[in-house]
Amino acid sequence: MTATALEKAAETQAATVEFRGLRREFGSTVALDGLDLTVRPGEFLALLGPSGCGKTTALRMLAGFEHPDSGEVLVDGADVTRVPAHRRDAGMVFQSYSLFPHLSALDNVAFGLRMRKVRTTERRARAAELLDLVGLAEKGDRYPHQLSGGQQQRIALARALALRPRVLLLDEPLSALDAKVRLNLREEIRRLQQELGITTLFVTHDQEEALSVADRVAVMRAGRLEQCAAPAELYGRPATPFVAEFVGTMSRIPGRRAGDTVEVLGRRLPVDGPAPEAGEVDVLVRPESVRVRADEDGEARVVATAFLGAAVRITVRLADGSEVKADLPAHEAAGLAAGAPVHVSLPDRPVLVAERTPRP
């Protein structure tokens, strides 16, 4: 990044974004159901959730492309709920790139500046700086059809940054790319965001993508916010069973709750967080928390193994027919082939408990 670009980026103050009680209905479908969420200045926040959860609707409301039935959108305390999109200080990058096919890369980046009547020499200089910023300084004269998908998305990112927005909006910008390009570009986006210090909202349904780049991740479900937390907290201390199972891999083991404990795999463990009343429940556990060892008298059986590099994922069928996944170091997994009898246990620490789900 050039010194000039850095100086100009520093002129842009990161904004605080607030969603207050946003509700939006499309016919009988409730897209947002009272969304309350604050994005801190300079924060990279990912909106994560399954299709139809409302994450893109929330982003489009901040961009000005959608308006809520009720509620407010605020930027630095100013109500922008009804402000037209072209008057909002936000840059947006779409999944489909949306580049103009008849314009060169340089002219695509400079397009918004041209609409704002910026002088030709200034807008071309700024566009050239931004092409350099995204590593495409030598591609300025190329047209979109002459660029790869990853390069086109970099051009779209540069175009969004050209107007020096106070908020950057990314609507699943990597989903159309292949795995290697997606990995490289998400790391590049994160680097640029940190370098510029711009408040950023990133919509994705890919949990790995969200956890790897965001300062915080807001998990949404059916138009509501389930939990908003740093990636490590979201993974290690999910607030709800939905978050636990949506973020990362989670197994359900049958148990019975009594008081503040739950009986599972022959022992009693403390319950973590809210839980159903006493009775039949499911205990939710991560693969790395499950312990498996060979045991000739064990009632559980190995169903399958999968090599993951440093670890091996073992799928075990318990005596009651339920299955649990365990991630073991490769040397501990040696000899645990399909059909091997094993003993399964959990560490002595609190566990998340959910309502019992019917077994197939």
Enumerate the β-bridge partners of residue 268.
263
What's the mean pLDDT in 263-276?
88
Q: How far apart are the first and last CA of the chain?
A: 56
Asked whether residue 314 carries a pLDDT value surpassing 80, the answer given is: yes
**pLDDT for residue 1:** 38
> Could you give the percent of the chain with pLDDT greater than 70?
96
User: Does residue 5 have a pLDDT over 60?
Assistant: no
Residue 9 binned pLDDT confidence (cut-offs 50, 70, 90):
very low
- Looking at the chain, which residues constitute the CATH 3.40.50.300 domain(s)? 3-236
Is 6's pLDDT higher than 50? Answer: no
**Helices 3-11/179-196 angle, 10° precision:** 70
Alpha carbon distance 322, 252 (integer Å): 8
Q: What's the predicted TM-score (pTM) here?
A: 0.85
Read off the pLDDT band of 8 (50, 70, 90).
Answer: very low
- What topology does CATH give the domain 252-355? OB fold (Dihydrolipoamide Acetyltransferase, E2P) (2.40.50)
Using CA atoms, how far residue 25 sits from 32, 73, 74, 82, 183, in Å, is 7, 16, 20, 17, 35
Judge whether residue 71 has pLDDT over 80.
Answer: yes
The correct CATH number of 3-236 out of 2.60.60.20, 3.40.1170.10, 3.40.50.300, 1.10.287.990 is 3.40.50.300
CB-based contact 13:138 (threshold 8 Å): no
Q: How far is CA 281 from the centre of its chain?
A: 29
pLDDT digits 0-9 by tens, 122-177: 989 989 988 988 888 899 999 999 999 889 988 999 999 988 899 999 999 888 78
Closest CA to 354 of 234, 247, 250: 250
Q: What is the pLDDT of residues 13-41, one digit of tens each?
A: 689 999 999 999 999 999 999 999 999 99
Tell me the residue ranges of DSSP E strands in 259-330: 261-264, 267-270, 279-285, 291-294, 300-307, 311-317, 323-329
CA-wise closest residue to 219 among 201, 234, 236, 200? 234
Looking at the chain, the whole-number percentage of residues with pLDDT higher than 90 is: 62
Partner residues linked to 291 by β-bridges: 345
Burial of 135 from C-beta contacts in 10 A (0-12 / 13-18 / 19+) = middle
Query: What's the chain's average pLDDT?
Result: 90
Q: Look-up: residue for tokens 């809520």?
A: 68
Numbered ranges of CATH 2.40.50.140 in the chain: 252-355
Q: 84-129: per-residue pLDDT in tens?
A: 998 888 999 988 878 899 999 999 999 988 888 889 889 899 899 8
The half-sphere exposure of 171 on its side-chain side, counting CA atoms within 13 A, is 23
pLDDT in tens, 285-313: 999 999 999 999 999 999 999 998 889 99
Alpha helices in 201-353 (DSSP H): 207-213, 231-236, 241-246, 330-333
**Bridge-based pairing state of the strands 199-204 and 44-48:** parallel
9 contacts 164 by C-beta, under 8 angstroms: yes
The alpha helices in the chain, defined as continuous H runs, are 3-11, 55-63, 105-115, 120-133, 149-161, 179-196, 207-213, 231-236, 241-246, 330-333
Q: How high is the pLDDT of residue 4?
A: 44
Summarize the confidence of residues 231-238 as an average pLDDT: 92
Above 70 in pLDDT, residue 202? yes
